[in-house]
Structures are given as structure tokens and as C-alpha cells.
Structure 1
Amino acid sequence: MPYRVSHVKRLGAARLTAGLDDHRRLDLNAHYRYHDRLRGQTVDALVSMAEEVDLRGRGGAGFPFARKLRAVASRARDSQTVVLVNAAEGEPASLKDKTLLTRAPHLVLEGALLAASALNSREVVIAVGAGELAEASVTAAVAERGLTGLVRVAGIQERFISGEGGALVRAVNGEGGLPPGRKVRSSDSGVDGLPTLLSNTETFAQLAVLAELGPEEYGAVGTVQEPGTILLTVGGSVGAPAVVEVPPGVRLADVLDLCGAEIGDGLLLGGYHGTWMSADSAYGAILSRRGAKEAGGELGAGIVVVLGEDTCPLGETARVATYLAAQSAGQCGPCRLGLPDLARACRQLQDGDPDGPDLVRRAASAVKGRGACFHPDGSARFALSALDAFASDVEEHRFHGGCGRETKGVLPLPIEEALDARLVVDWTRCQGHGLCAHLVPELVKLDHHGFPVFMDSGVPSWLVGDAQKAVEMCPALALRIGTK
């Protein structure tokens, strides 16, 4: 995925972003002008500090970091351990982790090395998108410190689900970077089968800041329940897209003003597994995990994507739902069949089908709680939230066939070669045999006349073989794999 060096802004004092106003990238000498050299800590000391400020993972799930640390420490008596930094930012709307590794790599390394020292770990592994600017930056930072033998930078292929814990471990271990289909705690078996402390890039940077400041000073900003600062990626219809550092408890409206946002129908909070919020809800929201929930949203990985007035929100929703369907692991029914159905339902909603809302709800209910990983649940939450956030637009589409606006593509999506390949039909040949719908039901449905209706997306890599079989077995020779 192409990456640009993000602008950095903040409300309040700079912590994670200290020095980035004056430096494009902090090398080791510049890093120590803004941050102290950290002393080693025992596991008990790190656990105590993390518990005192309730340090949570910043990858989206918000799992207590102290519990992860304690779980790995309990296994360290009998086994070697590994620290794994999850820098696989496959979420297209997020830039905060890449920004940290690109511009402040030593802060992330400090946190990871602090944990590794406490656990007496065999190595630190930083898993990052292969070929990214972030990979080059952190590799250079490791060389600066002379830690090539202790710290390994693992370049992996980024997909939307590549940041899922099990998928990341499998990718680092040289297996396919897909969720394993069953719950395996990395603290029990992670890199090379060893107990592994796995957490997000920002989490390790936060650990370094916590160790530098101590719990009392760390908690001097933010709220009592959520002390410290958080990083947000703010994009979409904004005058100044940026990664923004803020203390929890500030108004989302203040962040939107800082970035010159022009809200039309609403915004997306938490990323593509997050929730749409209406403009009114967004302007009344407080930025914290608790505040987001009270406003009907999810803070997730700190992603804010603003929709302006000139794009169709249902079209934007359908675009991303189609992308999410193509990004599935293809390992269970809810992913293989349910997510394509959900994407079709979102397209029908956009096209003004009177039953569109019910189709989306039924498709979402068919995948919720049934998947082998988090992907179906997050995708369903994203699609369902559009029905509430854009209720008036839904009615406009139902009664008038649309809202009169084009879909501008405000929500960022990666450019992937795999999505260029798609099933193409020659309608002068198609006789409605319907065999294609039986061979690749993920991509083809039959209408009430028995003719195929094709998924408006590319052919995922895990379906290429089945799609080719459908082409070869079409009785009318009406199918081919081509480009749109």
C-alpha cells in the first residue's frame, strides 16, 4: 500500500510526537534530546505501572497490557520468550503506526526493548509491511543501536486482516498470513511456538513514555479512567489530514476544527470495523473509549474519516463493504458467503432497493458471531451503523433511487492487483444455466429469472481457482476472467 509521511498535529503537550515539529525523522541522537534514556525494569514493576494507568492496547481491541505482560511472564520460567511488535497496519484509513515507525522509530524500540529486558526475551520482532518506508526506517534504527542480533524486522504482506494476532504470528513464522481459524493465545504459543508478548506499535511507544514519566506524571493528562494521550488518524473531507495526538476527554469537535473538517452527513470512527456517526452525534462526542460508546461509536484504533457534503454515504459504505468481502480469509462460511452477501445488500441499498435496509440487516445477522475470526463481526458492525447514521439518506435512496450525489471515494482503499481480476460475462452468450452460481456462490447469485448477478468486486486470491473452473465449465462459454 503506498504511504506518505503524515503531518502531525496535537491538542495539548507533545509526548509520542515530541520533536516531530522540528524533525522529519528522529535519529538516535535526536531521540535522546526529547526523551530520557530508560533504565531496565522488572516485570513486576512494568505490570504495576501499566495497571496503575490502565494501559490498554492501541490496535483497536483495547486489551489490558498488564494482563498480556503477566501471562507471558508466567510462561517465561519454563521457556524462552519473544516480544512481537504488531506494525502490520493493514487498515487503509490508519497511518498512526506507520507514522511512529517512520518518524519516531526509537520510541517504539525503547518500549519493546524495555519489555524484552524485563522478560529476558530471546528476541524482539517488529512485523511491518514489506517494502514500506516504515520498514526502512525501523531497520535503520535497529542498525543505529547495533541491535541487529536482538531485534528482527520482519517484512510481511499487508492485508486488512494481517494485523489480527493469529494471522500476524503465522506470517512471521513463514506461514500464510491468515487467521488460524481457532483461538491461540500468543502468550502460550507465538513466534516459533514460544510465549510471545504481542501488542500494537503505539502500545509499545506508550510503554516507553510511561516508563519515562512514571504513572503520576503520565496520568496528569487525559481522564481518570483513561489517562495519557492517544493517537488519531484524521482524514477524508478535511483541509489538513494528520495524525493527531490528544488527551482522552477532549471534544471530537475540537479535533475536527483543528484539521479543517467539512462534515456533510457524518463520519466514520474506529476504521472499517468501526461505526458511522451522524454529524450531530460526532460534534457532541467526547474522544475516549467511554465517550465514543456513549455517542454510539467505537474509538477502535483511533481512526476518524470525515464525509463531506458532495459524496454519497451509502456509496462509500458499499465500496468498503465490497473491499472487506474481498479481504476475507475465505476460511469459513460467514467470510466466504456471508460477506459477499453483505456487500451485495449494501449495493442494493445504494441502488434504492425498497428492501435494502432489511437485506443489510439479514446479511449482517447471518455473519455476526459466526466467524472464525473478528472480520465478519467488524464488517457487519460497519454496514449496520450506516442504516442509523444515514437514515434520511437511506429513505432518499429508497424513494428516489439515489441522493443525486456521486460516490467520490473519500474512504481510502489500497490499490491491489488482485482486485483487477474479475468475472466478466458476455450477455449475448449467457443462457442462464446458473452453473457459475453453484461453483462460485461467493461471487455470483441468480436473479428471479435464473440469470447471474455478479459481485461488483475483484476475485480474491483464494477464489481464483474456483473462478477459473466456472469459466472453463460454463456451457455457453459466456464467462471469462478479465478486468472491469
Structure 2
Amino acid sequence: MPPVASVGVPRLTAGLEEFGRLDLLAHEEVHGRIGPLSTSELIRLTDAIGLQGRGGAGFPFAKKFRAVLESAAKQDKPTVVVVNATEGEPAAWKDKVLLTRAPHLILDGAALAAFALDAQEIVIGVADDGIGAGSLAAALGERRMPVPTSVVRVPHRFISGEGGALVRGINGEAHIPPGIKVRASDTGVAGLPTLLSNAETYAQLAIAARLGPYEYAAVGTADEPGTVMLSVTGSAARPAVVECPTGTPLAEVLRMCEAPVGPGLLTGGFHGKWMAPEAVARAEVSRKSLMKHGGSLGAGIMVPLGDDTCPIGEAARVVRYLAGESAGQCGPCRLGLPDLARTVDSLAIGGAAPDVVRAAAGVVKGRGACSHPDGTARFATSALEVFAADIAAHAAGDGCGKRVKGVLPIPATLDAGGGPRLTVDWTRCDGHGLCAHIAPELITLDGNGFPAFPPAPVPPWLEPGARKAINMCPALALRLVDAQPH
């Protein structure tokens, strides 16, 4: 768990330096008690402060709240409040900090929403990584919630935190996004209209309810008042979760964490965008400013690379990881993302032009049942723009002269080298090409008609195709071997 820091007076992280973790007594000493809000009061408050979801999409909370109200009235059904505290992205830490050290703020916000909606229950989704679940259980044991409240553990995977995947998991189904786009406000937990937002959003609601709209907006920008929480890792000598007012210069936050940007800064996480150093120097911490300068606030993730790692190699690692983390249930994920991973791998070794990567990204954009293909394509194409000079060096055949240090955090068991991998016995391979026809989503043919595939683990959902290609190879040249992560 990284340490916590703040720019200016802390709000969500108030009291953490003094108490470490806030139990109920410490929580009420630091933040004070809070009373319920009516439906109209909660809507007026969240409208007045322009509260946006802190999970990545930045959807207006009041608009989502109204949608649940309208759906419940139309269907004559009760409602459910869901807190998404899964935080499945490897670079994300802010919700984990709130779960482990300030759980009552999350519960306060969820209780406010449940009372205003007259919800029948609250469900809190957490990852099964063991982080925060004990703290949350202890907090629930210290207080009475307005409605029955349960905690559901979901697999700690990238896509498990997607809203539709979380709802499916709570409903006892597979922890993957649904095959069609479904709004939780219409059909969520148990088929009921569901208000779903992430942990920091509910914590922000609890702060705003105590301060009121005017004091809440005393810090931050006029368009995006208040504070945000950022997870700063990567090349940072002092990685931390930083709470800062919107409008804070991004460079100030990075200096606080002793984080050299190097060739680029990843903003918003693995579904976010890269920013060049000169853009980082001009940007402020807000959705509007980061978008203006080519970045993304997303889930509040900031990962600077530093100068001593290969940026294209780092990007290739992440695209391989994202291809393997997909649900594998629709064409863009099952076929498109492995192809995109292959093209970025080829780019890293100087074998593909940037236009080939753009074409592979264009195939998946806007076609998936969830946002995973779009986010992965955005990450890859953003790297093309920011690391153009490094790509040119790789294309020249000499590379950028830097090794891949693994600065971008990926679970070791899923990084390149871990898990089953395809290998070829080149003394046997005769270039029949049959394997590429059997498993085209995994194997392609090079210019000489021989098999080519990325040096990465075979995703579980592609293993049957890989094994079929192995069994059908006329020369018995293919193997699937277990390799340990390096």
C-alpha cells in the first residue's frame, strides 16, 4: 500500500496521518456526524457541485441518480445501491486506500444514496486480493446501515471492475461484461434499477454532504470543484496516493512524488492516454485540462516512465496484458485485441509501421460489447503519437538503446514469460501454414509463410485453439510450454 500525501488541506484523507486508520470514533472526530438527505436534497447537492464518477468515465452522479429514480418509478420496482470498490487495474490504489484506512467515508456515501433512493439493499464489491475486505468488515461491524448491506468478492482481474461485470458477479453469473450493453439503472442487481458508482465517488458525496455546496467548492476549479485522488507510481521514487484540489499543476504532484516523466506520462490508467513531457508541464489536475493537453484523468492513475526504460516495449507489455484480460466473448476482444498485441510487438522489434498498429486499433474501436477494446486501442494509438522518435529508432533497426524494465505494473503471473506459451521447433517446421488457419486469432504467417506470434502467454480462452493447432501440425513442430514469469 503506497503512502498517502496531500496538496493543501486534505478532505478524504483527513486524519490518516494522525490515526493511520479511522475507526468509527476517529472518523466522527475528524469528519463529524452526518444526517440523511432527502431525494431532492441529494440531487440539488450533487448537481450544485457537479459531482462526477471517479471510476474512470466521469459520468455525472446526479444524472445517474435521476435515471435510477425514473426507472424504478416506471417499472414499479425497488432499487439497489452498489459500491464498486474492486479496483482491478494494477496501477490503481486510491480506492484501496479508502477501503483500508477510511472505510466509513465510503459507507457514509452509500448510506446517503440508499436513504434518498429508499433502496432495499447496499452491495459493496471488493476484489479477492485480500486488500481492504477486513477493514470494510470491521467498519460494518461498528455501525448500523439504513438497509441490509453485504460485501461481494470478485476475481482481481482488469475487467472484473467493469460495471456490467460487477453486476453479473453479484448476480451469481460469470464475472465478465455482458454480451450486450445494459444500463444498471434499468436492470442491475437481481434485475432491479441499480445505482452503481465507485468507492471514491461515494466518499466525495459524504464529504460534500458535510460541507455543503459552497464550502465544497471553496477549493478546485469552477467547472470541477473539490479534490481528486491520484495514484502515482511508475518511475516515482516516492510513489503515493495524492489528494489534491482540481486545478493543481500536474508537475507539482509529480515533483512531490519525485517522479521523473522521461519520454512520457501515462494518464488515466491502461485505458487512458499518454502525454508528452512538454504537455505534462502545462497541464493541471482536472478532466478538462488533461483532455486539452492530450491526457485523461480516468481513474486518477498517473504512471511516469522515467528515462531508463524502453517506452515501446513497455506499451507492448500492457497491450499483451489487456488482450489476455478480455472476456473473449465477442470478435473485437477474441480476434482484434490479440492482433493489436501482435502489431505492437512487431512495432517494438522494428517489423511493423505505425499505420499497421493504427489499422489494427481501428478494427476494434466502437465494436465491442464493453469499453475494453476501445480503451486498449486508445492506449496503443496514444503511444504512437507520444513515442514517435523512439518508434523511428526501432524501425531503423538499432532500437532505442534501453531495456524494458517493467515500469508499468502488471501482475507477474500475467507478464510476458508467465503462463503457457507457444514455441516452434524450427528444425521441424516446413511452413505448411495450417496452424495459422486453425488459430488465426493467435498465429499469423510471416512474409516467408512461417508462423509468427507474440512472445506472450496464451490467454486461457485461446488455449483450445492453440492445442488444436499443435495437434494438427503435419511436422509436429508446435509446442505449448509452461514458462515461469521473469
**TM-score, structure 2 normalization:** 0.95
Distance 1:398 1:422 in 2: 26
Distance 1:428 1:278 in 2: 45
Residue 381 of structure 1 deviates from its aligned partner by 0.9
Distance 2:273 2:77 in 1: 41
Is 2:56 the partner of 1:56? no
The farther-off stretch of 77-86 and 429-438 is 429-438
Residue 93 of structure 1 deviates from its aligned partner by 0.9
Distance 1:146 1:54 in 2: 29
Q: 1:79 aligns with which of 69, 74, 77?
A: 77
1:26-53 Cα deviation digits (max 9, x unpaired): 1111111111211111111101100001
8 Å contact kept, 1:322–1:456: no
Distance 1:417 1:303 in 2: 20
Residue 180 of structure 1 deviates from its aligned partner by 0.8
8 Å contact kept, 1:142–1:148: no
Match of 2:21 in 1: 25
Q: Aligned with 2:17: secondary structure?
A: coil
Amino acid of the structure 1 residue aligned with 2:33: R
8 Å contact kept, 2:120–2:147: no
Unaligned runs of 5+ in 1: none
1:307-347 Cα deviation digits (max 9, x unpaired): 11110111111111111111111122111121111111111
User: CA 1:461–1:35 in 2, change beyond 3 Å: closer, same or farther?
Assistant: same
Q: Aligned with 2:51: secondary structure?
A: coil
Amino acid of the structure 1 residue aligned with 2:405: K
Match of 1:271 in 2: 269
Matches within 5 A, 1:129-144: 129-144=127-142
Is 2:368 the partner of 1:371? yes
Match of 1:433 in 2: 432
Matches within 5 A, 1:129-278: 129-146=127-144, 150-278=148-276
Distance 1:146 1:61 in 2: 31
Q: 1:391 aligns with which of 388, 393, 412?
A: 388
8 Å contact kept, 1:82–1:124: yes
Residue 411 of structure 1 deviates from its aligned partner by 0.3
User: CA 1:146–1:46 in 2, change beyond 3 Å: closer, same or farther?
Assistant: closer
Is 2:403 the partner of 1:406? yes
Residue 146 of structure 1 deviates from its aligned partner by 4.8
8 Å contact kept, 1:351–1:401: no
User: CA 1:465–1:148 in 2, change beyond 3 Å: closer, same or farther?
Assistant: farther
Amino acid of the structure 2 residue aligned with 1:42: S
Residue 469 of structure 1 deviates from its aligned partner by 2.2
8 Å contact kept, 1:346–1:356: no
Q: Aligned with 2:246: secondary structure?
A: coil
Unaligned runs of 5+ in 2: none
8 Å contact kept, 2:111–2:146: no
User: CA 1:404–1:39 in 2, change beyond 3 Å: closer, same or farther?
Assistant: same
Distance 2:368 2:185 in 1: 23
Structure 1 segments, 4+ long, off by >6 Å, are none
Amino acid of the structure 2 residue aligned with 1:63: F
Distance 1:313 1:266 in 2: 8
Amino acid of the structure 2 residue aligned with 1:321: V
Is 2:475 the partner of 1:479? no
Residue 455 of structure 1 deviates from its aligned partner by 2.4
**TM-score, structure 1 normalization:** 0.96
Distance 1:17 1:107 in 2: 10
Amino acid of the structure 2 residue aligned with 1:374: S
Residue 178 of structure 1 deviates from its aligned partner by 1.1
8 Å contact kept, 1:100–1:202: yes
1:245-294 Cα deviation digits (max 9, x unpaired): 01111110100111111221111111111111111111111110100011
User: What percent identity do the matched residue pairs reach?
Assistant: 57
User: CA 1:149–1:42 in 2, change beyond 3 Å: closer, same or farther?
Assistant: closer
Is 2:281 the partner of 1:283? yes
